[in-house]
Amino acid sequence: MNRITNDLCALVIYAGVHVVRVPRKLDSDRAEKEKRLTATIAERDATIHKLSEKPKRSAAQQHDYEVVQNALKLLGEKGVEALRHIRTHDALTFGTYPPVLPVGLSNSDTLWVYNHAASEGILTVGGKVAIGERTFSVSPKMELILDELLYEN
């Protein structure tokens, strides 16, 4: 009789533990599934938003934006200062006498930046070649892009 009572007590304790444990496990599994579902829905919503967003630029404008962005990476701080300077002055002419230069840049540094920017199509070059004059100005199609990149921060 004692053995049956002990077995019965063990069975009741075992059943009691499982009765409490199984719903907790089910709750834990359900919470994990809800978490994964919420993450999937958030990811889907972000993708839908990104795909339905109107592009900021046309393909040609995006190309020009990337050209200026890459040029600024190459030119560094000197390039940013020199291009901000020419953006402020509209055009600068280098000839017998140098124009007003950006603060902290020499004539050769400024010319290096402007020549590189001109080779990338960011600036245009004109002037009286016969007398050794070179006039740099911002390319009209690059004005807005320069404004955005030079003054974004």
The pLDDT tens digits for 36-56 are 989 999 998 888 887 777 667
Q: Could you tell me the mean pLDDT of each successive run of 10 residues in the chain, 153 residues long?
A: 67 66 69 88 87 76 89 90 91 86 89 91 82 87 89 73
pTM, entire model: 0.61
Residue 1 tokens, joined: 């009789």
What mean pLDDT, rounded, does the chain reach? 83
CATH number 3.40.50.620 given to 59-150: no
Residue 146 tokens, joined: 């320069």
Strands (E) across the chain are located at 91-94, 123-126, 134-138
CB contact at 8 A, 79 and 71: yes
Q: Where are the alpha helices (DSSP H) in 53-138?
A: 59-89, 107-119
For 130-141, the pLDDT digits (tens) are 677 888 999 999
